Amino acid sequence: MILELDSIDVVYDHVIQVLKGVSLQVPRRGIVALLGGNGAGKSTTLKAISTLLQFERGEVTKGSILFDGVRVEHSTPDELVRRGCVHVMEGRRCFEHLTVEENLLTGAFTRKEGSSVIADDLELVYGYFPDLKLSRHSLAGYVSGGIQQMCAIGRGLMARPRLMLLDEPSISLAPRVVEEVFEIVQKLNHEQGVSILIAEQNINIALKYASYGYVLENGRVVLDGEANELRNNEDIREFYLGIAGEHRKSFHNVKSYRRRKRWLA
């Protein structure tokens, strides 16, 4: 396992508890999906791992996070990047006033190697994202959302990570572009051996590419399993994929209550 979370609690501002006993594991070279709706605690989980939490007045109060066998919950973000864990944040977060290429180069900030190695890696990133090469000299603030997402992932890649935390890479992208981004992520996983933990609301696409998934609700892991197992789970199908039974749902017959989720029993 490259990443192991053992029943962590996260508290914001000393009073607001957001995560309650979350445990999850990412195997080496694996793709794992972290699923759930808005406010379920997906982003918080990722921020707890990358320790960006401390800059939002959040804190891991219980449990432990092991990255590559080392406890990291009280580490710093740059320390984690150096160890090989990069967090690609939700909403792309490119540096708008830097060009695409400069954005990629900031990703190599922690690297100690010479500029020729960095230049090789830049070419490697351009190899995976040919679109980035075409707009390498444009300001990142002006390129399309898809390119920005690629830029954010490419920037993460420049740190030569062993584990990438992707937070909602599908957000506000056209379905075709979402496919494209996930295809590249899968390729990175296969060819570069980067382990991947994706937080997604788009459960359909996440389960298509991941091999294992965890479902978060209200800060708890309520369900986990192999991806195809989850895809066929009745609760997942009804509550997240909107498919109920054999027939399409008619909204004429929708009652004001819904079937109780089994995991709440």
Partner 1 sequence: MLDILHKIFVGPFIEMSHAPDLLVQVLWEGFVSGTLYALIALGFVLIYKASSVFNFAQGIMVVFSALTLVGLIEMGLPAWLALLMTVGVMYVLAVSVERTILLPLVNQSQSTMIMATIGLSSFLIGFGGFIFGGEPKSMPVALLGIPTGSMQFSVFNGHINIQNLDLAAAVMALVMVTTLGIFFSKTRIGRALRAVADDHQAALSVGITLKQIWVIVWFTAGIVGLTTGIFWGARSDVSFSLQIIALKALPVLILGGFTSIPGVFIGGLIIGIGEQLFEYYWGVQMGGGTQGWVAYMIALLFLWVMPQGLFGEKIIERI
Q: Which is nearer to partner 1, 151 or 185 (CB)?
A: 151
Q: By CB under 8 A, is residue 60 in contact with partner 1? A: no
Cα dihedral 245/34/37/174 (nearest 10): -90
Q: Which is nearer to partner 1, 30 or 161 (CB)?
A: 161
- The count of chain residues that interact with partner 1, using the rule CB under 8 A, is 34
Among the residue ranges 96-104, 195-203, 239-247, 256-264, the one whose residues contact partner 1 (CB under 8 A): 96-104
- The dihedral through the CA atoms of 44, 149, 209, 184 has a sign that is negative
Residue found by looking up tokens 């192991």 in the block: 4
Closest CA to 34 of 118, 25, 148, 80: 25
Q: By CB under 8 A, is residue 160 in contact with partner 1? A: no
Minimum distance from residue 245 beta carbon to partner 1 (Å):
41
Burial bucket for residue 46 (CB in 10 Å: 0-12, 13-18, 19+): buried
Among the residue ranges 6-14, 62-70, 104-112, 207-215, the one whose residues contact partner 1 (CB under 8 A): 104-112
Q: By CB under 8 A, is residue 109 in contact with partner 1? A: yes
Q: By CB under 8 A, is residue 204 in contact with partner 1? A: no
Site for partner 1 in 128-157 (CB under 8 A): 139, 141-142, 155-156
Distance between CA atoms of residues 105 and 250, nearest Å: 52
* Residue 154 CB contacts under 8 Å (≥ 6 apart), including other chains: 103, 104, 107, 125, 128, 129, 132
163-167/212-217 β-pairing = unpaired
Site residues (CB under 8 A) for partner 1?
Answer: 50, 52, 55-57, 76-78, 80-82, 86-89, 93-98, 102-103, 105-107, 109-110, 139, 141-142, 155-156, 159
